[in-house]
Chain A
Amino acid sequence: MPLIVVEDLVKTFRVAERRPGAWGALAGVVRRRHRTVTALDGVSFSIEEGELVGYIGPNGAGKSTTVKILSGILVPDSGRVEVMGRTPWQHRVATVRRLGVVFGQRTQLWWDLPVVESFELLRDIYRVPAADYRRNRDELVDRLDLAALLDTPVRQLSLGQRMRCDLAAALLHGPTILYLDEPTIGLDAANKLAVRDFLRAINRERGVTIILTTHDMDDIEALSNRLLVIDRGRLFLDGTVGDLRARVTSERRLIVDLERQDDAVVDPDAELVRRDGGRVWLRFDPACVPAAELIARVTARHAVRDLYVENPPIEEIVARLYGETGA
């Protein structure tokens, strides 16, 4: 029996239309016109206990709408959802009690209070028994290296420190499911690694089911094997990261900062995708030419100040996924 079942989920929003021009503004005061935006258009998937699932898609694709429905905040137009055997929006309190949620861009901790006081308030809100609380807290503090931060007011923490505290806060009550919305956004490399290691550990050792929403493909590659790709309200892929790569492309990007701004880079195995002053973006297929070889060729023929290799952005992958041309 899967932990989370979603069947034909549909959700639309009515958005008030802003009419252009002065007449429009005046008319808008009298009567608002609305248009309907379809956020979710028949989404179906299921998740077993203990999975670590990446949930990706461009902005506005419907990711946060899905998470809100799964947590019981939002009521859908139609469709069946079962989380831990219950319909989330009909049993908000019972569902939410076994849920942990972390938003990358907004902390749930109390701004003026020391971290440990936020933790204690959460213990009281979730009614965690004292012994369980102490055990969880000590383990989380240890794993996330928070001991030195406990007495610091949240407003004095750096972004990385705050994110680690938010992670701990979300797990104090021992939830079964953890939703993370852009947890590594804005973090430096060291903190990103710390977060990823932590998530992997609690998934493997504690069996916490994790749904991770992110724009960072490296997060996905490091953590999850299962991937849900959504765009404009529809699921386009439900499979592994390997499936995605195979489905779209194996290509990678080489970004080069040239010494001379007007230098033209031409290579048989590389395609110029974009140019901005002295920086060029090149597309290549590692199956045709290994990255090291391409780099060697480019640096041999041009004066290069700096370069790096990256995967194509997720938007482009998804755009490719249903046939639109990428940038």
Chain B
Amino acid sequence: MRPYRAMLSARFRLLLQYRAAAIAGFGTQLFWGLIRVMIFTAFYRSTTAPVPMSLEETVTYVWLGQALLLLMPWNWDGEIAQAIRTGNVAYELVRPADLYWLWFARGVAMRTAPALLRAVPMFVMAVAFLGMGLPPTWGAAAAFAVSIAATVLLSAAITTLLVISLFWTISGDGIVRLVAGAVMLFSGLIVPLPLFPDWAQPVLNALPFRGIGDVPFRLYMGHIPAAEAPRLVAQQLAWTAAIVLVGRFALDRARRRLVVQGG
């Protein structure tokens, strides 16, 4: 009995440690969301002209962004990046197992778990106290669920491609930031995409990044009717497929280069 108790208490202590960091992250995001809501509220009060999205919808959009922040492809898998930098990845590359799907699966797993842990309390808080709305219909909720699943796949594809780019760049930190910047802006995290100028909308719709935030968020609110969901989710998946293909191609090239160079 003793060893089990010891293991339990050790696990418990570990959880308490992580709790502190999780609370800090949650607090930071809460603050961030609050500021943005206040800013948007002030902007909305300054105009009487018609706006493509109501204030309530914008508020919901903001909190959705904070709740699901951890799903987005900010950065890559630190372990894999390290393996590539040090060259240890050579051992993985010569194994017959499909490395790309292994990394992809890791990308999916490493996002969903922490994202869920952050999203649930944030959802609860935002809906209860901070002005976030709920989906207007069951259809909207279902569309949202499907779209978010596609977002996870798209996000994993981007992350995996990012880490594969490390084979060619020396320090990838710059590239990560560039992509992270693009993700933040074009997914609607900084400003909801419908609020962008009308001339920009076709450009934004053509980019893959809207599938990371804008599409599922607007499906949730019913701002995009659920009937459109199949088309949009198909777009998300199409982009995912394209990025996966590029990633696999790139990885294959990297493997071949390494084999030729003798590791």
Residues of A within 8 A of B (CB): 20-22, 24-26, 29
Contact = CB atoms under 8 A, between A and B. Distances in A.
Size class of the contact patch on chain B = under 10
Contacts of B12: 22, 25-26
A20 B12 CA distance: 12
B24 to A, nearest CB: 16
A97 B6 CA distance: 49
Contacts of A29: 16
B260 to A, nearest CB: 30
Given A22-B12, A24-B9, A25-B13, 12 more contacts: A20-B6, A20-B9, A21-B5, A21-B9, A22-B5, A22-B8, A22-B9, A25-B9, A25-B12, A25-B16, A26-B12, A29-B16
Contacts of B16: 25, 29
Interface in B1-35: 5-6, 8-9, 12-13, 16
15 contacts: A20-B6, A20-B9, A21-B5, A21-B9, A22-B5, A22-B8, A22-B9, A22-B12, A24-B9, A25-B9, A25-B12, A25-B13, A25-B16, A26-B12, A29-B16
Contacts of B5: 21-22
Interface of B: 5-6, 8-9, 12-13, 16
Nearest to A20: B9
A123 to B, nearest CB: 33
Instruction: List the 7 closest pairs (A to B, CB-CB), nearest first.
Output: A22-B9, A25-B13, A22-B12, A21-B9, A25-B12, A25-B9, A22-B8
Classify the secondary structure of B's interface with A: helix
A20 B13 CA distance: 10
Contacts of B8: 22
A217 to B, nearest CB: 39
Contacts of A24: 9
B202 to A, nearest CB: 49
Nearest to A23: B9
A21 to B, nearest CB: 5
A25 B8 CA distance: 11
Contacts of A20: 6, 9
Contacts of A25: 9, 12-13, 16
- Which interface residue of B5, B8, B12 has the most chain A CB atoms within 10 A? B12
Nearest to B13: A25
A261 B172 CA distance: 56
B16 to A, nearest CB: 6
Contacts of B9: 20-22, 24-25
Nearest to A29: B16
B5 to A, nearest CB: 6
Nearest to B11: A22
Contacts of A22: 5, 8-9, 12
A23 to B, nearest CB: 8
A21 B12 CA distance: 9
A16 to B, nearest CB: 13
- Which interface residue of B5, B6, B9, B16 has the most chain A CB atoms within 10 A? B9
- Which interface residue of A20, A22, A26, A29 has the most chain B CB atoms within 10 A? A22
B37 to A, nearest CB: 33
B18 to A, nearest CB: 13
Nearest to A18: B13
A22 B8 CA distance: 7
A130 to B, nearest CB: 38
Contacts of A26: 12
A242 B5 CA distance: 53
Contacts of B6: 20
A20 B8 CA distance: 11
A25 B9 CA distance: 7
